Amino acid sequence: MMGRHEKEYDSWRSSPQAYWAGAAKAISWDIEPHDVRADIDGLTRWFVGGRLNTCYNAVDRHVAAGRGEQAALIYDSPMTGTLRRFTFSELQTEVARLAGVMQDQGIAAGDRVIIYMPMIPEAVFAMLACARLGAVHSVVFGGFAAQELAKRVDDAKPTLVLTASCGLEPGRTVAYKPLLDQALDLAAHKVGRVLVWQRPQAKAQLRSGRDLDWAAALADAAPCACVSVAATDPLYILYTSGTTGVPKGVVRDNGGHAVALSWSMTHIYGVKPGEVFWAASDIGWVVGHSYIVYAPLLRGCTTILYEGKPVGTPDPGAFWRVIRDYRVDVFFTAPTAIRAIKREDSEGRFLAQGTGRLRALFLAGERADPDTLRWVEQRLRVPVIDHWWQTELGWPALATCLGLGDSLTRHGSAGRAVPGYEFVVLDEAHRVMPSDAIGDIVIRLPLPPGCLPTLWQNDAGFRKYYLSAHEGWYTTGDAGFIDADGFVHVMSRIDDIINVAGHRLSTGGIEQVICAHPDVAECAVVGAADAVKGQVPLGLVVLKSSVIRAHAMILSEIVRDIRDQIGPVAAFKSAVVVAQLPKTRSGKILRGAIRKIADGEPFTVPATVDDPAIFDKIRAALNAAGFARTV
């Protein structure tokens, strides 16, 4: 019997433009679009001719509808012991006043503004104030390396930078202003104004003639109204790492973005206006853009801004405390956060007080291995849903759509295609692979609303990086397979498929076996160079904090398990116990860096790495195991 998911998917497939025209009715338009979709210069544009304001849709229209006293934003900071709540009316006031400050500094529609801030409410105000003016924001992590920030300044050419004096990490305060000053000195493009929010933990020195005190500027500001912009105008630029050292500026438009994110809250996450949605991420990542700031507010939900960690602020119960305190209905985090909690509290003692009215947990950002899924399912006793998307896509492409009444999940899979997306797996000759065969995961063009229409000032780069490998398809850069029931299994990046004596193996499949070992908290597998086989898999293993058994015995059991479950063809003989894995601030494991260390290749420490010192520890561990040869 065909379920609602299948009916909805067929409805989209039979008439895509009519489908998205219907979805667009959830958005308030100043002028209705005259074309739902059009090809302009060979690239897809959505809702052409339409005009709207994203900030109005996220904030003002809820006030106009009589819901101004509903909580819009809750800020919880275990770093400072601070709790602040903002209703939609209060959020409107804060954003309109900040937009007035920016307008006084000459910011207008189309101008670029860099936001270099920690997880504080003023960062959310800054994003929405840009949207209110029609300015294009580009959020860069506070504390990001000066050289990398300078590259983004030169690419975006901002008129204004919004920053804070510092960010907070467990045990340390990170001064942002010296890094920003260095970046602006390095950049060829010169920024005329910097607005600085002074935090009490560290005050910043202001440069005369360029820098303004945020709070002082607000005191004299008049509120600014929403500016109508074209649906095809850019809302923001979000930079991803470039393969040539030049960051790629993913563009998000106003119209498609608003329609897609509003649709996703209803149909994927199944949340209603007035409910509480929490994405435990950072606004510097696409998850923070989409599901801390824009999507919940577009839907009229209460969203949570959390300045803390899953463990250590103060304990592995931090997330569960937030969920209870603020009556979170749907929670979204990364598998790596759950693994960190599992490592410190494998018995689930910190869950003894429960999770209030939580009805679902969504995971994305890293592949969710079945063992982690089982662990959290058993303890939360609510649906735990792995789903998949990318910075470039902006919203989920694979999922179990709770809002469509879907309950089908499959451990190891990120779900089935969401309406708007059609997936296939191709080989190097562009042929569609049969079920269960590993190849390149691609999406049929055109991409739906909300996905990147192009790269900032770089249409040619957009075509090169995403559209050229398989004509007519968007290349995700991920490898995996689709099973007979249509579940897509994203196993690794294409570059992480390893070739062992002519056999193509997925690192994700090997990691799945390792993570099933009862003593393992998390792991990473890479392909290390081998003179005989070309490559052999190398595993880095992080053990649970409670483990006291001999490491050698655990590693021998892991080798045995892989031989039993994958076979001798995997040639898996090497695993190394490490204290932690190198990760970006979003929780992605830096497998490419691990491989280069193992092969003795030079590499640059990624600017997004959470702890740069970890690479020396990884090198020492690999050296002791006979890897990490001298360059």
Gap between the Cα atoms of 561 and 367, Å rounded: 20
pLDDT band per the 50, 70, 90 thresholds, residue 322: very high
Mean pLDDT, range 364-382, rounded to an integer? 92
- CB hemisphere CA count around 392 (13 angstroms): 19
- Whether 244 has a pLDDT exceeding 50, the answer reads no
Map 1-58 to HEC letters: CCCHHHHHHHHHHHCHHHHHHHHHHHCCCCECCCEEEEEECCEEEEEECCEECHHHHH
Per residue in 164-205, pLDDT tens? 999 998 989 999 999 999 999 999 999 999 999 999 999 999
Mean pLDDT, range 359-377, rounded to an integer? 92
Burial of 246 (0-12, 13-18, 19+ CB in 10 A): middle
From the list 485, 322, 503, the residue with the least C-alpha distance to 413 is: 485
Per residue in 453-482, pLDDT tens? 999 999 999 999 999 999 999 999 999 999
From the list 494, 501, 491, the residue with the least C-alpha distance to 571 is: 501
Residues 6 or more apart whose CB falls under 8 angstroms from that of 606 comprise: 241, 584, 590, 593
Q: Which residue has the tokens 């099973």?
A: 483
Mean pLDDT, range 229-246, rounded to an integer? 83
Domain ranges of the chain: 501-624
- pLDDT, residue 569, reads 65
Per residue in 549-597, pLDDT tens? 989 899 999 988 888 887 776 667 778 999 989 887 767 788 888 888 8
| Pairing, β 166-169 against β 43-48 | unpaired
Q: What is the pTM of this model?
A: 0.87
Q: How far, in Å, are 233, 239, 447, 462, 493 from residue 392 at the CA level?
A: 17, 10, 10, 10, 15
- Whether 29 has a pLDDT exceeding 70, the answer reads yes
- pLDDT, residue 76, reads 98
- Whether 233 has a pLDDT exceeding 90, the answer reads yes
From the list 420, 627, 629, 407, the residue with the least C-alpha distance to 537 is: 627
Min mean pLDDT across 172-186, 333-347, 591-605 is at 591-605
- Whether 629 has a pLDDT exceeding 50, the answer reads no
- pLDDT, residue 215, reads 97
- In eight-state DSSP terms, residue 358 is -
Q: Residue 386 forms beta bridges with which residues?
A: 363
Map 205-247 to HEC letters: CCCCCCEEEHHHHHHCCCCCCCCCEECCCEEEEEEECCCCCCC
Min mean pLDDT across 152-156, 302-306, 319-323, 503-507 is at 503-507
- pLDDT, residue 235, reads 98
Beta strands in 485-577 (DSSP E): 488-493, 497-500, 503-506, 520-530, 534-543, 574-577
Task: Label residues 554-580 b or e (16+ Cβ within 10 Å = b).
Answer: bbebbbebbbeebeeebbbebbbbbeb
Min mean pLDDT across 15-24, 46-55, 507-516 is at 507-516
Q: Which residue has the tokens 């890094």?
A: 179
Q: Give the number of other Cβ atoms within 10 Å of residue 111's Cβ.
A: 19
pLDDT band per the 50, 70, 90 thresholds, residue 630: very low
- pLDDT, residue 1, reads 55
- Whether 609 has a pLDDT exceeding 80, the answer reads no
Gap between the Cα atoms of 199 and 208, Å rounded: 19
Per residue in 103-129, pLDDT tens? 999 999 999 999 999 999 999 999 999
pLDDT band per the 50, 70, 90 thresholds, residue 501: low
Task: Label residues 434-455 b or e (16+ Cβ within 10 Å = b).
Answer: eeeebbbbbbeebbbbbbbbbb
Mean pLDDT, range 257-279, rounded to an integer? 98
Per residue in 401-459, pLDDT tens? 999 999 889 999 999 999 999 999 999 899 999 999 999 999 999 999 999 999 999 99
Handedness of CA 320, 325, 329, 333 (dihedral sign): negative
- Whether 378 has a pLDDT exceeding 50, the answer reads yes
From the CA atom positions of the chain, what is the Rg in Å?
Answer: 24
Q: Which CATH superfamily is domain 501-624 in?
A: ANL, C-terminal domain (3.30.300.30)
From the list 162, 76, 180, 169, the residue with the least C-alpha distance to 123 is: 162
- pLDDT, residue 502, reads 58
Q: Give start and end residues of each alpha helix (H) in 436-545.
A: 459-462, 507-515
Residues 6 or more apart whose CB falls under 8 angstroms from that of 622 comprise: 538, 576, 597, 598, 628
- Please list the helix, strand and coil fractions of the chain in percent, rounded to the nearest 5, in that order: 35, 25, 40
- Whether 507 has a pLDDT exceeding 90, the answer reads no
Q: What is the mean pLDDT of the chain?
A: 92
Residue 351 has which token pair?
Answer: 């869950």
SS3 call for 392: coil
In contact, 237 and 251? CB cutoff 8 Å: yes
> Phi and psi for 435 in degrees, rounded to 5?
-50, 140
Handedness of CA 607, 610, 612, 614 (dihedral sign): negative
Gap between the Cα atoms of 276 and 302, Å rounded: 5
